[in-house]
Each structure stands twice: as C-alpha cells, then as structure tokens.
Structure 1
Amino acid sequence: MAIKATIYKAQLQISDMDRHVYGEHSLTIARHPSETDERMMQRVLAFAMHLPADDLRGRLEFSKGLSDVDEPELWQRDLTGEVVHWIELGQPDERRIRQACGRAERVTVISYASSTAVWWSGIENKLSRLPKLSVWQVPADQSQALAALAERGMQLQISIQDRTAYVSTEKGSAEITPHCLRQSEG
C-alpha cells in the first residue's frame, strides 16, 4: 500500500517591500512521503518570494511536484492554461530546465544544497542561451534554519526587503538571502 502525503497547513502573512506585495494567504501543503521539511519549506518560501502582485495572469499555485515529473514545484498559469512562471527547486538537469523554458514565459530555479556550486558549474555554460531563466541559491545553513520552523500547523510572518526574507513563527525565526547565480533577461 502506498504511503499517502502528509498535509500541512500554513497561514502566511507576507510583506514584500521590494515588489509592494502584501497579504494573507492560507496554504494547504501536501508533503510527499519522500519530501523533507527543508524542501517543503523552500516551496513555501518560493511562494512568498514569487507571489504576483495580482491574479490578472493567474495565481501562483503548488503543483503535484514530486508526484508528477512533468510539473514544477510551483507555477503560475493564465486562464488559457499557458504557463507564465515555472518554479523548480533543487538541482534539475539541463534537459529539464530546457523543457521548462520551452513551456513557460519565465523559469526560476532555486537550489538550496551545499553542492549548488558544483551543480551550477557543470551546467551553467550549457544554459547560457536561455533568456527566460533565473537561477538562485539559498545558502544551505539558511535553508536548514528555515526547515527548523516547519510544523503541521504554521503561522508564518514573512517580510521581504532588499531580496532578504525574514521568516518568523512562534517557534523562532530565520533570515534567508538568496544569491543570484543567473538573472533572466526579461
């Protein structure tokens, strides 16, 4: 019998001073049995840091992620089903990134492992002609501090200023400053 996903609930209060995006969001997160707290919390952080200012071009949503290899971790799709923004976590291979760039207007990859430099140096030149692609690195120690805040029921206050996210809960806080490895041209 297959192990089912564990359901987490998160109440986010987002104040993104960089992009002037503010609001409260209730998230239901299905955590795949093989997913770690760290990866799940990176999905929540990606949601907060890439949430569009309005829903005119569709909402940012969690996809089936690990349960469906043809979908990213998060995506924003317009009313016609076209992918506006594809957000991938981890260290996907070159082929997957190219496919994402062929399907979406924008692609963001967020790596949070200590091996990011090795992974990126191996594929950076192969992806140099993808104008839609942005790649970010979350330092591993910051990612682990964020993971320590995970609970089945979370109330997170996320303030973003100067591309640094300050995440706090009753359990503690974490400061996350992603480093840009590659910025899209658009």
Structure 2
Amino acid sequence: MALKATIYKADLDIANMDVHQYADYQLTMALHPSETIERLMVRLLAYARFADEQLEFSRDLFETDEPALWERDLTGQLVKWIEVGTPDEDKVKKASARCKQVAVITYGSGVAEWYKKNARLKTLSNVQVWQLSEKTTAAIQQLCERTMQLQLNVMDGEWTLIGNHAQAEIEWTQLQ
C-alpha cells in the first residue's frame, strides 16, 4: 500500500516594505512521503518570494515534468515556473522556452557544484537562480507545524519569518 501525502496548512502574512506588497495567503501544501520538512519549508519560501494570487503548488514530486510552483494567466498560459532544489538543466531550459519567468530556489551543500555543472543556465535571460543558506534552511524547519501562522517581514532586503514559537532570518543569494 502506497504512503499518502501529509497535509500542512500555512496562513502566511507578507509585509514586504521593499516592494510595497502587503497580503495574506492561506496555503495548503502536501508533504510527499519522500520529501523532507526542509524542502517543504523551502517551497513555502519560494511561494513567499514570488507570491501572487495565481501562484500555486504543483504535483512536482508526483509529476516529474512539473515544477514545485507555477503561475498561469487567465488564459491558462504558464507565466512563472519555479523549481526547488537542483533540477536538471534540460528541464529548466524547456521551462525557459515556455514561460516568461523561471526561477530556481536552491539549497543544501551541493549548490556550487550543481551551478558550475549547469553553466549553460547563464545563457537563459529569463531564468533566476537563488540560493538559501544552510543556516536559513535549518532555522525555517523549526517553524514547521501542521498548521502554521507565519508572518514574513521584508525591509531593506532583510527577510524575517516569524512563527508561533520562533523566528528565522532568511539569507538569499542571487546566483543569476
């Protein structure tokens, strides 16, 4: 018998003073049996970075040709394609041809090697690559609960994610 996904809910309040974005999002995320809490929380941060009412979580671990998140316009065309982790270069190139904006949110110890190995990504003008520090991913895991109340504050480029019992300073590095 196959294991089922575990459902997590997050009420994410965003106050981004840098871009004057103030919004509240009620998110439902499925934790795949083979997925870690770290990856689940990185997906949540990816949502926060590109937050929009049309942005949604896909079935990326169930469907390998889908990203972690995507956004479609009102006609159903893909607008944003957001990968989490260290995806295959060909998958990112295909997404780049299909979407206006592609982003890869990387984390973990092997990011530098992955980025060096996938140097052709630098030629894709609509692709952004962001790296989260290991300190950040360790801290955001402490905020994870089955039902989360989270406040994200962004001011002068500094990101702080506040949960019920802890908070995490979010360190982003834009590689591309």
TM-score relative to the length of structure 1: 0.91
Q: Say whether 1:136 aligns with 2:133.
A: no
The one-letter amino acid paired with 1:60 is L
Q: State the alpha-carbon separation in 2 of the partners of residues 97 and 15 from structure 1.
A: 30
The one-letter amino acid paired with 1:165 is W
Residue of structure 1 aligned with 2:87, choices 83, 86, 92: 92
Q: State the alpha-carbon separation in 2 of the partners of residues 163 and 108 from structure 1.
A: 18
**Aligned position for 2:3:** 3
Structure 1 position 128, deviation (Å): 2.6
> Residues 49 and 160 of structure 1 are in contact (CA less than 8 Å); yes or no, is this contact kept in structure 2?
no
> Residues 73 and 89 of structure 1 are in contact (CA less than 8 Å); yes or no, is this contact kept in structure 2?
yes
Deviation string, structure 1 residues 24-76 (Cα, Å, up to 9, x no partner): 11111111111111110111111111113xx5xxx011111211111110111
**Aligned position for 2:73:** 78
Structure 1 position 111, deviation (Å): 0.3
Structure 1 position 136, deviation (Å): 0.6
Deviation string, structure 1 residues 122-174 (Cα, Å, up to 9, x no partner): 112x2232111000100112111111211101100111223332001122010
Give the gaps of 5 or more residues in structure 1: none
Matches within 5 A, 1:166-177: 166-177=160-171
**Aligned position for 1:26:** 26
Change (3 A) 1:31 1:103: same
Deviation string, structure 1 residues 63-101 (Cα, Å, up to 9, x no partner): 112111111101110112111111000001211111111
**Aligned position for 1:163:** 157
Moved over 6 A (4+): none
Percent of pairs identical after alignment?
45
Q: State the alpha-carbon separation in 2 of the partners of residues 83 and 176 from structure 1.
A: 28
Q: State the alpha-carbon separation in 1 of the partners of residues 115 and 134 from structure 2.
A: 15
Q: State the alpha-carbon separation in 1 of the partners of residues 63 and 124 from structure 2.
A: 24
**Aligned position for 2:41:** 41
Size of the aligned set, in residue pairs, is 176
Q: State the alpha-carbon separation in 1 of the partners of residues 156 and 94 from structure 2.
A: 31
RMSD of the alignment, in Å?
Answer: 1.1
